[in-house]
Copies of this chain bind each other. A is one copy, B any other.
């Protein structure tokens, strides 16, 4: 089943959120509206809003309250992507030129800042004090994750713990916050929204590991950017961490980092990773997180949202793009 089919029963509300996203970034400053819409209209899975809505089903679901959280979280995610592309010097995202490529780094930096500020404006409609604490903590962690990513670029001496902490900060916590804040905005009790936090956290870890695997095993067409982009940008992901246990392979990566872009060497590295057990071991790690997510889910009361979260989690762990 396709991802979008799983939450087809939320379509009316997702369409509403899509509209609100566009309205929110709109301003009379055309440059910034254009840059924001450029990113927004490139699509994306909108997985954070979907998690917000599904989590809200465990409370008193009222779209007029919940939409603020859904819009804010997607915007924060978007803002972080814009700044990410500056750091990674990335020219393509979702098959379209990035803001930094189409305009420049300065515009990208402030477009990110602007989208970020808009997110907070939307979020200020949420009255729950705890929600604001959770969101701001998540944002602090997110920026620390970004800084770690810069610091650990091209560093082959990082260990698994460093990698896991980085993807926790960069990805998992925002998905965890989406689940928890959706529940909080719907007035769900503490034991429910705390469980949803952990569900989101484990799914987020699995999601990012799968993402890091796909960077090697998927196609440029499906990725919307060249295969192996992470490594070319110096980001050491789980498959690489496993593969460099082999000294010969490690040498090749060191060569790549020294000599820079060289298509033949890149192809060799990608093919080496694919034929090693690094991909399999990475999938195993992703699965372990997924299993944890499923166990937490078991503890939640039965409803349609629970079933959908189960399907989505399963999909996320197994997806091919």
Contacts and interface: CB of A to CB of B under 8 A. Distances in A.
Contact of A110 (B29, B87, B120): B87
Contacts of A117: 136, 139-140, 142-143
Given A29-B144, A114-B140, A120-B135, 10 more contacts: A32-B144, A83-B109, A86-B109, A110-B146, A113-B116, A114-B143, A117-B136, A117-B142, A124-B135, A124-B136
A146 B109 CA distance: 10
Interface stretch (A50-58, A147-155, A185-193, A263-271): A147-155
A14 B106 CA distance: 34
A136 B123 contact: yes
A20 to B, nearest CB: 16
Number of copies of chain A assembled together: 2
A275 interface: no
A27 B120 contact: no
B105 A83 contact: no
Nearest to A108: B109
Contacts of A129: 124, 127
Interface in A100-124: 105-107, 109-114, 116-118, 120-121, 123-124
B114 A147 contact: yes
Nearest to A114: B143
User: Which 4 A-B residue pairings sit nearest by Cβ, starting from the closest?
Assistant: A117-B139, A120-B136, A121-B136, A114-B143
26 contacts: A27-B144, A29-B151, A32-B144, A32-B147, A83-B109, A86-B106, A86-B109, A87-B106, A87-B109, A107-B147, A109-B109, A110-B143, A110-B147, A110-B150, A111-B147, A113-B146, A114-B140, A116-B116, A116-B143, A117-B142, A117-B143, A118-B140, A121-B140, A123-B136, A124-B135, A127-B129
Interface residues of A, number: 40
Nearest to A140: B117
Contacts of A111: 147
Contacts of A121: 133, 136-137, 139-140
A250 interface: no
A225 interface: no
A160 interface: no
A10 interface: no
Contacts of A118: 140
Nearest to A104: B150
A139 B110 contact: no
A47 interface: no
A113 B83 contact: yes
A135 B150 CA distance: 30
Contacts of A27: 144
Interface in A52-84: 83
Nearest to A137: B121
